[in-house]
Amino acid sequence: KYNQLLRIEEELGDDAVYPGKSLL
């Protein structure tokens, strides 16, 4: 699951905000 979040982060970028960021 962690790898998935990293992929989403790369796709969305720092400008995008999502619940996964809170976990990290």
Helices (H), 1-24: 2-12, 19-23
pLDDT of res. 1: 62
pLDDT of res. 24: 56
1-24 pLDDT per residue, tens = 677 877 877 776 665 556 655 555
pLDDT of res. 5: 72
Say whether 17 sits in a helix, a strand or coil.
coil
- Give the count of alpha carbons within 13 A of 18, CB side only: 13
